Amino acid sequence: MRQLPVPDPGTADHRSPGRFLWWLATGQWRTLLGGMVFGIAWMSCQAVLPAVLGRAIDEGVAARDQDRLLLWTGVMLAIGLVQAATGIMRHRFAVTNWLTASYRVVQLTTRQSVRLGASLPRKVSTGEVIAIGTTDLDHIGNVMDVVARFSGAIVSFLLVSAILLSTSVQLGLVVLLGVPLLMLVLGPLLRPLQTRAATERSMRSDLSNTGTDIVGGLRVLRGIGGEEVFLARYRRESQATRAAAVNVAKLQSVLDALQVFLPGVFVVLVVWLGARSAVSGQISAGELVAFYGYAAFLMIPLRTATEFANKLIRGRVAAARICRVLALEPDVLEPTVTAAPPPPHSELRDARTGLRIRPGLLTAIVSERPDDSALLADRLGLCAPETDDDVTLGGVALTALPHRVVRSRIVVSDTEAALFAGRLAERLDERGVGDIDGALHTASAEDILEALPDGLDTVVTEKGRSFSGGQRQRLVLARALAADPEILVLVEPTSAVDAHTEARIASRLRRHRAGRTTVVTTVSPLLLDAVDEVAYLVDGRVTAVGTHADLLARHDGYRAFVVRDVETVS
């Protein structure tokens, strides 16, 4: 099978669920067409078998003609072999279509997540993304899977109708008119099913969010004794989701029952009419057997048609959720006209706050409101939701540079950064070119490595939950240092470690980043004493700049905040 290129979320048509499904279908039209061709051939073979069987009975058994019986038996064998071969190929294409559609959805969602970056958690919940990767892609794949059989069902239905019309106009009209009427009977159930399925899908997403929050904050919940409260909350939401799923299942069970009952009634009607025609001499015994075969076979196209409608409804519900994610735009868009990148070791400035980061220095940002300094750090790395042209690198606005250029030159590591699952060495050095040993030494994380039986080959669990908060923070710092960017912005890198460890990190950080630009947001005197320059942020503006010792000596507000000087405060 041809390998499809990885889809770009920007090329997906997400204006409506129907357009999105059509876009997916056009992207794999070759395998869909192959599945339809083999699906039509497979069902057509089943459709003509009753006619061949009728001929064998009339011309071979009834007429006692052994040669004709052998002839039609051979024809049946040939048709059976073709049916088996086309059935195998139809199934192969069906599985290919399912996998292709499902994994294209995974690729689209993953690439959109990367494109949104830091905007993703602000715009969509974790549970929503999880639901897309678990249930929605399954429904999308089912739509592509059933297309081949649905095409075969339509063609075989028309083929059987033509055969019946050529034999008996009455029976042919019963089939041509009866099958659409059966579909109309099932039609009113499809709209409520779609509504209930959409409600259940939304509740399942919310339940995933609740479960993710509980797992992520389990330690905090145990510390404050809130486990029972959140357990009760999860129990209520899970029961509500279960009730919604039961409502979907009730309607689905009615639809499934009608898929069996109505075609069964239809088969009885066709057989009864055929028997009356045989008794009256209008048709032969072989044709009566053929009519019964047609009637029994028609249950397959009928059920396939209702299955297609059912899966299409679920697929549209899933596509609607996917479209909402694909329609999201990052807080910072790629510039339409890009500027030339400034030379290395350029000065980083923020006109809004008056911050000036001189190249090659270790600069600290101190703010009485940690949210202000954290937001400023995000703005320096083009990661903040409110981004403008105020932040410049070498006089060039960051918003005018391609994002890949900004990301390669400026790295922001905040307190919420997590470790991805996988081999520790690969998680610390994603690019494979960093100095892991030096980074671990600077982050004072050698003891973590020594405690691991497999060292750097240790497999990190999801979000690094096997490590304590302090260990995780030091490993995240080591990862940022191993990246070795031109400008490194660290947000409270030592907030979860003890004083002795913090002192070691402070002394080593200056040497490790010598000659490169480093920005640290902190209020720790140990770190502040090791930096080259401190910028004091008050109400969103830099009010004082100097060394830590200089600001302590001449700035009362800075001294009161950092040292907690009681006499100065009074």
Q: What is the pLDDT of residues 309-318, one digit of tens each?
A: 878 888 888 8
Q: What is the pLDDT of residue 568?
A: 39
Q: What is the pLDDT of residue 537?
A: 93
Q: What is the pLDDT of residue 209?
A: 65
* pLDDT tens-digit map of 215-227: 655 555 555 555 6
Kindly write down the DSSP assignment for every residue of 50-63, as one continuous string: HHHHHHIIIIIIIT
Q: Which residue has the tokens 């892991």?
A: 436
Asked if pLDDT for residue 10 goes beyond 70, the answer is no
Residue 425 CB burial class (10 angstroms; 0-12, 13-18, ≥19): middle
Average pLDDT of 372-385?
Answer: 86
* pLDDT tens-digit map of 504-529: 999 999 899 998 999 999 998 889 99
φ, ψ for residue 543 (rounded to 5)? Answer: -105, -15
Report the range of poorest mean pLDDT among 39-48, 96-105, 220-229, 332-341.
Answer: 220-229
Q: Which residues are within 8 A (CB) of 127 and not within 5 positions of it... i.e. 6 or more apart?
A: 204, 205, 206, 207, 208, 209, 210, 211, 212
3-state secondary structure of 359: coil
More confident residue, 277 or 492: 492
Average pLDDT of 39-43?
Answer: 90
What is each CA distance from 7 to 96, 106, 270, 316, 557, in whole angstroms? 17, 10, 49, 20, 54
Q: What ranges make up the beta strands (E) of 380-433? A: 391-393, 396-397, 410-413, 422-423
Model confidence band, residue 127 (pLDDT cutoffs 50, 70, 90): low
Q: What is the pLDDT of residue 6?
A: 53
The secondary structure of 157-204, three-state, reads HHHHHHHHHHHCHHHHHHHHHHHHHHHHHHHHHHHHHHHHHHHHHHHH
Highest mean pLDDT among 3-7, 201-205, 224-228, 398-402: 398-402
pTM: 0.67
3-state secondary structure of 413: strand
Report the range of poorest mean pLDDT among 326-335, 436-445, 517-526.
Answer: 326-335
Round the average pLDDT of the chain to a whole number and report it: 82
Strand 391-393 and strand 396-397: the pairing is antiparallel
Asked if pLDDT for residue 277 goes beyond 50, the answer is yes
Q: How far apart are CA 319 and CA 322, in angstroms?
A: 5
Asked if pLDDT for residue 204 goes beyond 80, the answer is no
Is residue 520 within 8 Å of residue 548, measured between CB atoms?
A: no
Q: What is the pLDDT of residue 387?
A: 66
Record the tokens describing residue 346, joined without a space: 């350029």
Q: Which residues are within 8 A (CB) of 224 and not within 5 positions of it... i.e. 6 or more apart?
A: none
Q: Among 211, 90, 197, which Cα is nearest to 138's?
A: 197
Average pLDDT of 42-66?
Answer: 84
What percentage of the chain reaches a pLDDT higher than 90? 24
Is residue 109 within 8 Å of residue 135, measured between CB atoms?
A: no
